[in-house]
Amino acid sequence: MSRRAGTDYLGQLQTQIIMNRISLTIVLLGFIFVLPAEKNCQAQERHSFLPDSKLWISGDSNRSFWIVELDDFSGWIDLSVDEAGSFYVHGAELTVAARKIKSDRGIIMNRLMYRALKTNEHETITYILASAERVEGASADSVYFATVGNLTLAGITNEIEFVIASARSEDTYYFRGVYPMKMTEYGMEPPVAMFGALHTRDDVTVHFEWVVGSN
């Protein structure tokens, strides 16, 4: 190898060493600045649903539109807040007393509904959140969560996905969403009455407005 070639080779080697050091420094700085960000979140806190929370189901029949209100339910949401004021959802659970569900169509509709829900065998309806991916909204206090969870209805559990809109006002958090579904997805027969003259449609929509915060 000539002296010039040797000099060129040493120059390239020194340049490569410098670039490797720079790359290593960048990686280390990445760890330094990223890892503490996770520690900036406050500890997770469990918040129970407040009395203002609402849950209802709407549907249709060959006669009219109907609404079923779910008044007897309970649940909680695990939240944390970072130093910037952004909040995160880490878990949630909802339990509904199936026999306490009331329709706006009277006792006959209630009986048909209880039969469809198989309430003699399954007294509760449950939803357990598996994951919630935060999607930034217009501000730090207005965000969406793309959620995945498990809904157990009439003894059958299905994994479901839907988006929750949320907002924060001081220490109170609001969550709102809808979930369209089919009764037959849970082994339920859409209620039929009046010897078939009245029958509900398979498609229904679950609506919820959950409010949590300091009790």
- Given CA atoms 69, 96, 173, 135 in this order, what sign does their dihedral have? negative
pLDDT greater than 50 at residue 210: yes
Residues 35 and 68 in one domain: no
The 8-class DSSP code of residue 72 comes to S
Are residues 51 and 150 located together in one domain of the fold? Answer: yes
Query: Same structural domain for residues 32 and 66?
Result: no
- Burial (CB < 10 A; 0-12, 13-18, 19+), residue 83, is exposed
Same domain, 194 and 109: yes
Q: Is the domain of 55 the same as that of 120?
A: yes
Q: Chain-wide mean pLDDT for the chain? A: 80
Torsion over CA of 159, 131, 73 and 115, rounded to 10 degrees?
0
**What pLDDT, on a 0 to 100 scale, did the predictor assign at position 31?**
35
With a pLDDT cut of 90, the percent of the chain lying above it is 48
On whether both 4 and 94 belong to a single domain, the answer is no
Whether the predicted pLDDT of 44 surpasses 70: yes
**Residue 139 shares a structural domain with residue 170:** yes
**Among 112, 79, 62, 119, which Cα is nearest to 96's?**
119
Domain that holds residue 155: 42-213
